[in-house]
């Protein structure tokens, strides 16, 4: 089980780097990254949740598609159950 968590952490770290380029954001959105990140937000491991949140933040800040940005907000809000926490995660 611990190996799976390490793999998820590393994969999410790589995804954060990958999403730094807006062109990669669009490609990732087309492949369903938001759904996967939503599942990662439900993980028990804090670092997995934090990296998934960082990915969603990058999508909302650097992406250009409004509908995906709204979906990110909904995913974050649903996982945090708090609007103020979601605003802080997205907007600093």
pLDDT per residue rounded down to tens, the chain (92 residues): 689 999 999 999 999 999 988 889 888 888 888 888 888 988 889 899 899 989 988 888 877 766 666 777 677 767 765 555 555 655 55
Q: What's this model's pTM, rounded to 2 decimal places?
A: 0.74
Say how many C-beta atoms besides its own lie within 10 A of residue 34's C-beta: 17
* pLDDT of amino acid 11: 96
* pLDDT of amino acid 53: 87
- In the chain, the largest separation of any two C-alpha atoms, in whole Å, equals 37
* pLDDT of amino acid 81: 54
Yes or no: say if 76 and 56 are a contact pair by the CB < 8 Å rule.
Answer: yes
Q: Spell out the domain ranges in the chain.
A: 2-91
* pLDDT of amino acid 15: 96
């Amino acid at each position: 089980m611990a190996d799976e968590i390490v793999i998820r952490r590393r994969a999410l770290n790589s995804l954060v780097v990958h999403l730094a380029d807006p062109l990669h954001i669009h490609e990732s959105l087309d492949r369903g990254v938001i759904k996967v990140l939503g599942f990662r937000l439900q993980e028990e491991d804090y670092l997995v949740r934090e990296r998934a949140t960082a990915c969603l933040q990058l999508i909302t800040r650097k992406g250009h598609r409004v509908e995906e940005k709204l979906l990110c907000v909904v995913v974050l809000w649903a996982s945090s159950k708090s609007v103020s926490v979601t605003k802080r995660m997205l907007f600093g």
